[in-house]
Amino acid sequence: MLLVIPGVLDNRKLSQVRSLLEQGRFMDGRLSAGKTARRVKHNEELQSDAHRMEQLNKLVMSSLVQHPLYQAAAMPYRVATPYYARYTPGMSYGDHVDDPVMGPPGGQYRSDISTTVFLNGPDDYAGGELVIGTTYGDQSLKPAAGDAVIYPSSSLHHINEITAGERLVAVTWTQSMLRDPQQRELVFELYQARESLLESEPESEVATRVDHVYVNLVRMWSEL
């Protein structure tokens, strides 16, 4: 499933996030990359600063994980601490697939879903599209500031070269309660139908039956 979640961060939060990033120090992003990704990764990442990271995560991650569309589509079990990346002219991230298992020993998690939260707008930079391979061909995305994109971590994807301006994003990963991406997509489609029925016909038999099926499919397929 490839999904754009609009308005995860509002303008006030975006302004606070960018102010925190402007005060931070960035390092070569290849230092945190695995052997394969290191060959194609060319960006900068915010250096770890416990206080600044706590402030950023309260703004970005709290907004993301509490968003109803993210909750419904990702069905998160574990959500990774994000990294904050900057791309300036000449930088890019070539074709790669995210590592299947991430995190330190004892705190490892399976990466089912990758999420990019866009911290500035498409007019702030040229190039820099997030390009994700799907069964329907490559999908190129450059959404509005504050939007998030979620997609399977197993997808081949890349970031086009920046030719002007600056691209700012937060990137995180999710281990979902539903490991199978096809099951997640079916459950999300059923969730949307259920929400529509509960809004328009809350007392109807159809709404009750769809709600019943949704709840029990989640119960059947979840790994908890």
CATH of the domain at 18: 2.60.120.620
Residues 11 and 116 in one domain: yes
Same domain, 43 and 111: yes
Please give the pLDDT value at position 36: 72
- Write b or e for each residue in 136-166: b if 16 or more Cβ atoms lie within 10 A of its Cβ, otherwise e: eeebebbbebbbbbbbbbebebbbbbbeebe
Q: In this structure, are 112 and 186 located in the same domain?
A: no
> Shortest CA distance to 185 belongs to which of 37, 21, 3?
3
Asked if residue 34 has pLDDT above 80, the reply is: no
Q: Residues 143, 63: one domain? A: yes
Contact 193, 204 (CB under 8 A): no
- Per-residue pLDDT of 140-156, as tens digits, reads 999 999 999 999 999 99
pTM: 0.94
Which residue has better confidence, 29 or 155? 155
Nearest alpha carbon to residue 164 among 200, 203, 128 = 128
Domain that holds residue 193: 181-221
Model pLDDT for residues 38-97, shown as the tens digit of each residue: 789 999 999 988 899 999 999 999 999 999 999 999 999 999 999 999 999 999 999 999
Domain count, the chain: 2
My answer on whether 48 and 152 are in the same domain is yes
How high is the pLDDT of residue 97? 93
Pair 202, 122 in one domain: no
Instruction: Tell me whether residue 62 is exposed, middle or buried, using C-beta atoms within 10 angstroms of its C-beta: 0 to 12, 13 to 18, 19 or more.
Output: exposed
Q: Are residues 57 and 128 in the same domain?
A: yes
Tell me the two tokens of residue 136: 């329907």
d(CA 84, CA 57): 10
The per-residue pLDDT for range 174-199, each reduced to its tens digit, is: 999 999 999 999 999 999 999 999 99
**Higher pLDDT residue, 172 or 34?**
172
CA angle, 176 as apex, 134 and 63 as ends, to 5°? Answer: 95
